[in-house]
Amino acid sequence: MEKLQIKPELTSKMFEVLSGMWITGCVKTASELNIADHLADGPKAISLLAEETDSQEKQLYRIMRALSSVGIFEELENKIFALNDLGATLLTGVPGTVKDFVLANMSEHFPGFGDLTYSVKTGKVPFEHIHGMSLWDYYKKYPELAANFGRGMTGLSGMELQGIIQTYDFTPYKKIVDIGGGNGVMMHSILNVSPESSGIIFDESHVIEKTKQLIPENLKNRCFVSTGSFFDKVPEDADLYTMKWIIHDWNDEECVKILKVCHHAMPKGAKLLIIDAVIPDDSQNKPHIAKLLDIVMMACITGRERSANEFKDLVERAGLQFNRVIDIGTEAKSIVECEKI
C-alpha cells in the first residue's frame, strides 16, 4: 500500500479543532473570575482587572488576549478590555447567561469527555466511572453544584422559551403540568400567555422548596407545585403535560417507564409535549447541535439525544400516539407532540 500523505491544511484544521479545548479553558477562567461582571460598567485596564480579581496581571492578560482574539470580550489600546455582546453571555444571573453551564461542563462534567473510550468499550457512563456515582447522586451529595447546574439550565432556557411560546398555542389547555419543571421558568412563561390556564410544576421535594418561593405574585392564584418522582406518579387529569430536557436524560427503558407513568395520569385526549433536541434523519450526516449534545449525554448520564423515529418508537411503546415534531427555531430544542387516544 502506498504510504498515505496527510495534507498540511488538514493537519492545520485538526489543530484548530483541538484549540477549541484551549479557548474553553480560558472561558472557564473568565467565568470563575466574574470578568464579565467586572466589565459591565465599562472598559478596564488589565492592571485594574487583575487587582479586582486578585489575579496575576501577566497571566490574566494572556487569558484575556486569547479570548478577545476569538471575539469574546474586546481588547482596546493599552491593554484595556471591554465587554461585548458575546462576552456578556458570561454575566451573572441575567437571562441567557451561559456562565453557570460553562462552570458545570468544565468542572464536574469535564473529566467524562476525556474518558469517552470507556463508554465506547463498555457501554457504561464515564461520569460514573470517574466519580463513583451517578450524576444525580453526585448532585444530591453536592447541593451547591446542583444549584449551579440548575442555574445553568435556566440560563439556557432563553434559547428556546421564546420559540416555544411563539410556536405552540397553550391557550386551549385549562390545566397544565410541567414534569421535572425545576424552578418553574417555563410554566411561568406559559401561564403569562394563557390567562385562563392553571399550572402545576412537578419535581422532587428538594427542588420544589425553592420553586414555590419563585412563583411570581401575579401567578400565585393559578400556579402550584407538586412533589414526587416521575418514575412513580405524576399529577393526574391535566389537559396538557410538558417535559423539557427530561427524556434525553434517560435510556430507552427508563424513558418508556416515565412515559407509561404519564400515560396512566393522562385522560383521553390529553397531550404531552416532549421538548428535547431532535437529531435529523439525514443520510448525509450534516452538522447539527443535537449530535454534539448526544456526546454530553454519553459522557455524563445514561441518556441520549434521539431522532424523530426514535421518539416515535418510545412514545408508542408507552401507549401514546406520536403526533408531530414542531420546529421552534433552534437546533437545541424541538417539540415532540404526543397524545393519549
Give the DSSP letter of residue 2.
Answer: P
C-alpha cell at 336: 415532540
| Pairing, β 80-82 against β 74-75 | antiparallel
Alpha-carbon distance 274 to 247, whole Å?
A: 7
SS3 readout for 87-136: HHHHCCCCCCCCHHHHHHHHCCCHHHHCCHHHHHHHCCCHHHHHHCCCHH
- Nine cell digits for residue 31: 467565568
The residue annotated as part of the active site, out of 109, 131, 188, 248, is 248
- Tell me whether residue 248 is one of the annotated catalytic residues: yes
Task: Tell me, rounded to whole angstroms, the distance of Cα 265 from its chain centroid.
Answer: 27
Q: H or E element: which one contains 148?
A: helix 143-157
Can you tell me the distance from the alpha carbon of 271 to that of 57, in angstroms, rounded to the nearest whole number? 57
**Cα angle 182, 184, 187; round to 5:** 130
Whether residue 103 contacts residue 152, with contact meaning beta carbons closer than 8 Å, is answered with: yes
Question: 228 φ, ψ to 5°?
Answer: 155, -175
CB burial class (10 A; 0-12, 13-18, 19+) of residue 277?
Answer: buried
Q: Catalytic amino acids?
A: 248
